[in-house]
Structure 1
Amino acid sequence: MKGKIILPDEKIKKPTNIEGIYLIKNYITNKNILIGDYTYYHCDNEQEANEFQNKNVRYHFPNFFNDNLVIGKFCSIAKETIFMMNGASHNYNAISSYPFYLYVNDEELKNQMLAQLPNRGDTIIGNDVWIGYQVTIMPGIKIGNGSVIGTKSVVTKNVPPYAIVAGNPAKIIKYRFDRAKIIELEKMQWWNWTKEEINNKIDLICLNSSF
């Protein structure tokens, strides 16, 4: 494909000579972690990329909680981002918050214990999301397309599309575009374009004056 950009094969693990950029989808073996094409994780070396599904996705026990981590296409994930999953939750409404279900051999009792645990469902990150350094995303959070998560933020509430959030807990600082443009972008869904379409319209996608 001739043009202004050449998108690499989405199955390549390291798509550029720039240090630290790894297409993280290609390092995932956990069937409960679903990551879109061209989403990268920035880290120091390939070993960290290999360890992403275990070190960056914390307390993920789908056998107990049946939860998934879903991340869209073309996301930028900075080093040491943490996705907290539902296994981090404890039942503090009972007398003890200790996870006794780990040791119960009575299936009915264990299921009752599990049913009382907080479970916010899947964590879903949209497309073209920029997640800053050392961000923590709590269980069951939904982050909209095109949003930006500031460095060291702790995301405890859902983030609307194209919002910029920061802080602990993260709060909306502003939106990247006005409401009309956000609606237009949500309909456009450029991340689902073919490589040729992206190449032909790269000025529209990447230059401030084009939109």
Structure 2
Amino acid sequence: MSALPSVVLASRNKKKIGEVLELLAPHGIAVVGVDQFPEMHEVEEDGATFEANAVKKACETALKLGRWTIAEDSGLCVDALHGAPGVYSARYAGEQGKDEANNLKLLEALQAVPEHERTAHYVCYAVLADPHGKVRAAAEGRCGGRMLRELRGENGFGYDPLFLVPEYHRTFGELDPAVKRHISHRARAFERFIPQVVRVLQEVAE
């Protein structure tokens, strides 16, 4: 059997790329970051759902580069805020990827919310598009928890230091990265997603 074709990962978030690479590495899937392709523009994430954004990023990137592409969209949904920040998680405070500002805005928004109403969940939606821009695999993963009133832990990124995982009595920011890789929304999405990706790429390689 021929080697599996390499896949472009449509993300420029280095910590997110690191998590995805660790999830894919054991399966022999070679991944190239989209930042290796200067001709690829930034895809505007203007979808109303994580699925819509992931599909758009995967398909536009695949078509532009003529390469197999994986994209995922993920974020935090807080029940007391009617699902916010949701698809705006990375730019909740206005500027893309400013974790400190996003966390501060979230803490302020939840200031008057009592403990029993501070439930939330992370969502990850992953998509594989073929070089013609057609979706060939997709999966969603979720992880439930509760929002704290103060930051705890230095690991992870985004809202991880505020997101308490009840089963572990620790935030994503406190959990060992190896544990997070098994229980996170991204881990759960990729647990369903990777077998699909391997199957599709193997069919192409045969």
Same fold (TM over 0.5): no
Higher helix proportion:
2
Coarse TM-score class (shorter-chain normalised): under 0.3
Tell which structure's C-alpha radius of gyration is larger: 1
TM superposition score normalised by structure 1: 0.23
Higher relative contact order (CA 8 A, sep 6+): 2
